[in-house]
Amino acid sequence: MAEFTFNWNLALVGLYGLLGWLVTRTIYRLYFHPLHKIPGPRLAAATHIVEFYYDVVKGGKYIWEIERMHAKYGPIVRINPRQIHINDPEFYEQIYAGSKSTRDKDTSYPPRLSASLSVISTIPHNHHRLRRSVMNRFFSKQSVVNLEPIIQDKTDKLADHFEAAHQRGTVLKMEYAFSALTADVITHYCYGTSYRYLEDQFPENDLRDAFGGLFLLNHILYFFPPVSKFLNNVPPKVMQFIDPKSSVMAFVRGRLYKQSVETLQQPKVTSNKQRETIFDALLDPSLPPSEKTVERLTEEGFILLGAGSETTANTMALAAYHLTKNKLVLEKLRAELKQVMPSPKSSPCWSDLEQLPYLTAVINETLRLAIGGSWRLPRVSPNEALVYENYVIPAGTPMITASYFVHMNPIIFPNPEKFDPDRWIRAHESGERLSRFIVSFSKGTRQCIGINMAYAELYLVIARIVRQFDLELCETTEENVRFARDYVVPHAENGPWSVKARIIKVIEE
């Protein structure tokens, strides 16, 4: 057998070559890169080390380092070698632009959701428009109005659970309770059958735990994209052995995969009695065959479930927290609701509730403090350079304004940490359109497609809970709902937002 001899000279050549490449790349990024004139820390401009340290090592903390960068360098900063962040709400609609402008997503985005074939992960502007076009009518306002009976039915079931919890003196995790409702609504509407979280799992909800686990991996998936493909290919039974909570995600994917196969194999039934599902919409004849694959249908269904349940549930839980803490606001809102809800179990329609100014103010203020998605959502202008103040932003640059920086802007929202629904009443009376600064659902051509459904759920559910129940917070303080870490959605310092409450009264009239 020939003896192996390690070639130290060759190893040194390789090492020197690597060091030379790193030095050359650093010099390029600092002095010759198209973004080299954008202010910011030199280490962040040269490498991803700063971003990795704060988001992966320290755990979802880079957003606060970006806040410190803005305090030091101004409203535009370079947060890594490729991306810039702009802290200016007035410039938001330039980044997240409407139909007159072309905006791609950044290539770093798809792996973070483990669903690269979905609309939300589609990078090119025109490809996104093609995919979204067949879904728009499914989530139009009129379609959601037709969905109201389903939302009302799920709200009735949730109210029944609250009444039972009152009788037993049970402490409820409000975010889990609301997540069960939103998950049942989205599955009933999109898949044609409810996943029955309100019936079968209440008050717990393993789906919420599963999405929570995926969100915690967000920063890992950003820096190590192959992990996403690995997780998608792990069999459910293996995942059950590794992590029982995360295995729920694999089982949900398997269920959606089976439904996608069935939809592709059976001819479409055009019947007034059989309502169209999202899978039927995704098989629109105008789409090319490449868009009608089992994998794509599965991933689209998966993303709709996560997007349609978790952020809305968090907002409802935050509303429960603030209304329970602010009795004057609660009583003022309850008095207004009696105009359209003479009985606590009345079922006003969404359009009537939208006309109530104080309910609208409460929902807007809760959306503002809930942030929506806390993660950074880069947009790219592929063909056109933009100008911000004295800085030219070259075409192809990933640009970001995180929703937190809009919602917590102290000039637009004085005392931004305070829950103050009356700020919306004052703005309306002075003719100020403050709602344009609510960016929970983003804006432009890639605005959240489920915005109408989310608003309908917020109006119908919050109205019912406020009108029928009095709550008492249990083991819940402001720290439990303070935004401290960014894991797709806001997290507290010690974990996901959590609101625990006891039903202390069921209002009869």
Distance CA 355, CA 351 (A): 7
State residue 497's pLDDT score: 96
State residue 112's pLDDT score: 65
DSSP letters for 430-493? TT--GGGG--TT--GGGS-TTHHHHHHHHHHHHHHHHHHEEEEE-S--GGGG---EEESEEEET
User: Which residue has tokens 């490498």?
Assistant: 47
What one-character DSSP code corresponds to residue 290?
A: G
State residue 495's pLDDT score: 93
Task: Between 272 and 389, name the one with better pLDDT.
Answer: 389
Q: Is the pLDDT of residue 168 over 70?
A: yes
Mean pLDDT of the chain, nearest integer: 91
- Extract the tokens encoding 153: 């039915």
Residue whose C-alpha is closest to residue 317's, from 230, 392, 393, 205: 205
Q: Is the pLDDT of residue 177 over 90?
A: yes
Task: Between 285 and 71, name the one with better pLDDT.
Answer: 71
Q: For residue 143, what are the CA distances in angstroms to 135, 139, 189, 230, 386?
A: 11, 6, 10, 37, 37
State residue 260's pLDDT score: 86
State residue 273's pLDDT score: 43
User: Which residue has tokens 């002075």?
Assistant: 430
Q: For residue 333, what are the CA distances in angstroms to 211, 341, 369, 465, 467?
A: 32, 12, 18, 11, 9
Q: Is the pLDDT of residue 270 over 70?
A: no
State residue 269's pLDDT score: 55
Query: Percent of the chain beyond pLDDT 70?
Result: 94
DSSP letters for 105-148? EPTTSGGGGT-TTSGGG--SHHHHHHHHHHHHGGGSHHHHHHHH
- Extract the tokens encoding 433: 């359109």
State residue 483's pLDDT score: 98
Distance CA 320, CA 181 (A): 15
Q: Could you check whether the bond before residue 39 is cis, i.e. omega within 30 degrees of 0? A: no
Please give the average per-residue pLDDT across 291-308, as a whole number.
Answer: 89
Reported as type and span, the H/E element at residue 149 is: helix 141-168
Each residue's pLDDT tens digit, 194-246:
889 999 888 888 888 888 888 888 999 899 988 877 777 777 677 667 667 66
State residue 267's pLDDT score: 57
- 448 marked among binding-site residues: yes
Each residue's pLDDT tens digit, 395-453:
999 999 999 999 999 999 999 999 999 999 999 999 999 999 999 999 999 999 999 99
State residue 458's pLDDT score: 98
Q: Is the pLDDT of residue 110 over 90?
A: no
